[in-house]
Structure 1
Amino acid sequence: MTVDLAAPPPRPGPRPLTTGREIPHDQLDQFSPPEIRAALVKEAQALPGVFTGPSQVSEPSSLALRLTEPAGPWEAFLHPSRDEFGHIHRVGFLHLTLPIELIGPLEAAGWVEPHPISRRPEWPDTIVMLYAPRGEAELTLATAALHASWLQATNKE
């Protein structure tokens, strides 16, 4: 199944509770089952040029998604890192950068919310929280968003 991130389907149910404009920016309910998070990690690790490890910009228990050869623009990365384009938290939600034109449709459909740090002028406005996928259909969308983030960070079409 392919997902059009520019016109995504609505996310089922209410949005999860989050810390909103607070940092750290956390999702507080509606977590991923362990097997869904494991599948998301596997998808991330299968992307060419991606290596994982502790995040450089978040809690050490989150799994950083880093590039061996970052080539994307400044707004494709979670600063101050120059190669981390996202990370997956223990409960399954992601912080990642997305192409700016996808953020509005994904937010309107209930899949993402802007990271509070992106409201500061010295940070890119492309940083979002992608809510934890709760099942296979949501994993499909999360994987598509992850791929869009990777494309931006690698500067590939």
Structure 2
Amino acid sequence: MAVDLTALPPRKGPRPATTGREIPHDQLEDFSPPEIRAELIARAEALPGVYTSASLVSEPSSLALRLHQANRPFEAFLHPSVDEFGHIHRSGFLHLTVPREVLGPLAELGWVEPHPIVRRPEFPDTIVMLYAPRDAAELEVAAAVLQASYEQAAG
């Protein structure tokens, strides 16, 4: 059953400090515990057709979430990659694409912030930082957002 991403609970506490409008775009605090990050990776790898590798659009230690696919909607991938729809950083935060209709609600609820690269016209405006899940409840939210990103990329 799909989760309504516009009806999620607000993220608890203040937003984590990030590099904001700077590239590289990093989360600077409130990281995922290792077991939460490991479970997030396991859920990503369990999505049909997803394979992981070092990211080609981020730091090499980031784990890219990739698809083999012929139909690649522009707004669903992290350009210039044609198959990476997201990646998980070592500290647990993600960069990924999300459907346009949930961008505003996810930001208002405190779960995401836009990636600064979206200011450039050659990149889709759907790229966000999803803050690192800190506990099991936040892992469920991250998994729901990841599912929506995957569905957008997979078509």
Relative to the length of structure 1, the TM-score reads 0.96
Instruction: Indicate the percent of aligned positions where both proteins have the same amino acid.
Output: 72
- After superposition, residues 118-133 of structure 1 pair within 5 angstroms as 118-133=118-133
**Structure 1 CA distance for aligned equivalents of residues 112 and 72 of structure 2:** 22
Q: CA deviation at 1:122?
A: 1.2
The answer for the alignment partner of 1:76 in structure 2 is 76
The answer for the alignment partner of 1:7 in structure 2 is 7
**What letter is aligned with 1:46?**
A
Change (3 A) 1:153 1:137: same
Unmatched 5+ residue regions in structure 2?
none
Deviations 1:79-127, CA, capped at 9 Å, x for gaps: 0000000000000000000001111000000000000001111110000
The answer for the alignment partner of 2:41 in structure 1 is 41
**What letter is aligned with 2:83?**
D
- Give yes or no for contact 1:99–1:148 (8 Å, CA) kept in 2: yes
4+ residue runs over 4 A deviation: none
**Structure 1 CA distance for aligned equivalents of residues 92 and 40 of structure 2:** 8
The answer for the alignment partner of 2:152 in structure 1 is 152
Q: What is the total number of aligned residue pairs between the two structures?
A: 155
**What letter is aligned with 2:93?**
F
- Give yes or no for contact 2:17–2:28 (8 Å, CA) kept in 1: yes
SS state of the match for residue 39, structure 1?
helix
Name whichever of 65-74 and 142-151 sits farther off.
65-74
**Structure 1 CA distance for aligned equivalents of residues 119 and 128 of structure 2:** 11
Relative to the length of structure 2, the TM-score reads 0.97
Are 1:99 and 2:82 an aligned pair?
A: no
**Structure 1 CA distance for aligned equivalents of residues 55 and 142 of structure 2:** 19
- Give yes or no for contact 1:96–1:130 (8 Å, CA) kept in 2: yes
Change (3 A) 1:95 1:114: same
**What letter is aligned with 1:106?**
L
